[in-house]
Amino acid sequence: MASVFAKRPTCDQRIALFSTAAHSALCWGQTWLHIVAVQHEGLFYILGYILAGLGLFFVAIQIIDLHLKRLTGRSLHDIFLRLTSTRFLAAWWGFWVGAITQTASAITFLTISVVSSGLMPRQRAISLLNWSNPGTCLLIFFLILPLDLFVAYLVGVAGILYALQTSRRWRDLFGFLFGMGLLFYGLFTLQHFGEQFQHFEWFRHILEATSDQYLLVFLAGCGLTVLAQSGNAVILVTIVLAQAGLMGPLEALMAIYGVNLGASLITHLLTLRLKGTPKQMAMFQVYYGWIGTLILVPLFFVEVWFEVPLVAALLDSVGGTLSTKMAVANLLYCVVTTLAIMPLESLLAKWLHQRYRPDADEDAARPKYLYPRSEAQPETCLDLIEMEESRLGGQLARYLSLDGNANFLADEARRVHDSFASLRLSIQGYLDRLVHQELASATASRVSILSERLDVIASLESEFFKILPRAKAMARAQSTCSNLIYQGFEAAALTVLDAVQSGDTEDIALALQITEDGSETLAGMRKGFVETTAQASPKDQTELLQLVAGIERLIWLMHSLARSLESAKPRVLAFGGDQR
């Protein structure tokens, strides 16, 4: 054993041996890479440009989405206001909005925001979503047109103007055009270099192995769509492969069916956490994909197995290139599905409403009396705004009914706060539109009073949200003084909120009396605080002082709200009754 260890190489010798071995391995690796690069130079070249095309495509989607929201956010909301008249208009505008947004998920979230704010009824939204899907198919037709030179000029000119322009409006316009140019440029790059795969024998063998494996192609199209988060990109790749002869027309048709189902699955994944009405809109898009699949995939196999002329035969009769036929196939999928759903829209809307019912928070967040374009009749609109403000004030009582531990109180308070904020923004929108009209002096004065009242209610709610959960927790966990202070405040708050909801003169007078400075409510709170803090620890004194200061601020705001009620003309504001 000693002789063996004696022959072990020294440290320097081991380093030299390792360096020699590493150098040999590096040389062999370089030689192998050189051989591969020589043999497959075309493959690396093609993959590089395909990767560049995909990169341009996905960056363009982000640019378009960013600037489209800024450009059309308000315009699209104005368009949605017009959709409430007839289902025909909903379908018409839905088609064109789908053509603008080009993604089912984008139009779904846009519709969710409008329906949730009460600007459009559910059934009109279903019609809009139904016809928006054929609109999203238009992009593929542009991609198969000879627009290479036009796109090059679009990217160059729009890119230069986008870089030089400082005005927000023009910058968003040029940014949108620049994004569209990049999108087309990326897809044309992908299309041009993707066709080069037909020169590789190994790629042909892979596609030959999937020949007649229609379900496999369907699942591949669906899965790639979910991974890429873009149905149009996968459809384009399918068209490129079909044009190059690397995929049969039937396989391409089945891949397109899979892409459309994958697009609905993207919407499902993005909206898993939604509830109520937003969930209804999202699930319509999900069911849309499943309905189209259940109709067209069985028809595909009927045509293939029993040689019944159906969709593939129709596409064969369409003139033009294979890419045109595939674009028509994509449009045909959406048109057939949309026409099949049209007679079932009302039933589907009712079923979705029962399946995904809105909760109390969602109902509280939406206007109950105001309706789209009610500002066209200012006096009526002001009556409705007054009723909505009554509802808004009534939501403050939900803070008083919160119960549970500290964490639960915070979560519940957040839900009340979010629903309040949503309703308040809706009311503010109607008031803003009234302000920009030419109104009679009495009407304008009433607009001012209701605007001031809304601001006071909003300030009061902000303080409720900050103070009430902590005050409840302190009243439950600490001294008797905390509990007495909170009970005194709660009695005053309920009195004011009763006055807000009833509008009764006597209720308003009582609310003013108990919230004015020097009232028994404030005097009792201050007296209890002085008596208790004499024996309390410094920490408890600080917490009680913060509690009293916060509640005094709340009472002052409630007094301001009561004064705004007194200054307004008395009206019947029976909470919960429909006055429309």
Report the Cα–Cα distance between both ends of the chain, in Å, rounded. Answer: 104
d(CA 299, CA 316): 16
Which of the four pLDDT bands, split at 50, 70 and 90, describes residue 218?
A: very high
**What pLDDT is recorded for position 302?**
93
Q: What pLDDT was estimated at residue 173?
A: 80
Task: Judge contact between 540 and 478, C-beta under 8 A.
Answer: yes
pLDDT, the chain, mean: 75
pTM of the model: 0.58
Q: Is 537 helix (H, G, I), strand (E, B) or coil?
A: coil
Q: Could you tell me which CATH class the domain 373-567 is placed in?
A: mainly alpha
**399 or 36: which leads in pLDDT:** 399
C-alpha span between 524 and 563 (Å, rounded): 23
More confident residue, 446 or 536: 446
**CA torsion angle for 322, 324, 327, 329 (degrees, to 10)?**
-60
Give residue 2's pLDDT. 40
Give 566's contacts (C-beta < 8 A, 6+ positions apart). Answer: 508, 509, 512
pLDDT of residue 125: 85
Task: Tell me the per-residue pLDDT of 350-368, one tens digit each, with 9 for 90 and over.
Answer: 898 888 887 766 677 777 7
* DSSP letter, residue 366: S
Q: Looking at residue 540, what is its pLDDT?
A: 63
pLDDT at 319: 74
Band (293; pLDDT cuts 50, 70, 90): very high
Distance CA 315, CA 330 (A): 11
**pLDDT tens, position by position, 517-535:** 655 666 666 555 555 555 5
Provide the percentage of residues in the chain whose pLDDT is more than 70.
Answer: 68
Cβ burial, residue 398 (10 Å; 0-12/13-18/19+): buried
The yes-or-no verdict on residue 394 having pLDDT over 50 is yes
- For the cut 80, the answer to whether the pLDDT of residue 568 exceeds it is no
pLDDT digits (tens, 9 = 90+) for 95-126: 887 877 666 766 777 777 667 666 677 888 88
Confidence of residue 334 (pLDDT cuts 50, 70, 90): very high
pLDDT (0 to 100) of residue 28: 47
Residue 480, burial from CB neighbour count under 10 angstroms (0-12, 13-18, 19+): exposed
342 pLDDT band, cuts 50/70/90, is very high
Average pLDDT estimate for 559-577: 58
Query: What is the enclosing helix (H) or strand (E) of 479?
Result: none
Q: What is the pLDDT of residues 136-180, one digit of tens each?
A: 888 777 766 666 677 788 888 888 888 886 676 678 788 878 887
Closest of 505, 502, 512 to residue 572, by C-alpha: 502
Q: Looking at the predicted structure, is the pLDDT value of residue 268 above 70?
A: yes
Q: In the prediction, which pLDDT does 539 show?
A: 65
Quick one: tokens of 143? 């991609």
Tokens for 250?
């039937």
Residue 328, pLDDT > 80, answer yes
- Residue 90 is predicted with a pLDDT of 81
What pLDDT does 341 receive?
A: 94
Query: Where would I find the H helices in 7-40?
Result: 11-39
Q: Residue 298 has what pLDDT? A: 95
The answer, yes or no, to whether residue 209 has pLDDT greater than 70, is no
Instruction: Output DSSP code: residue 245.
Output: T
Domain positions in the chain are 45-355, 373-567
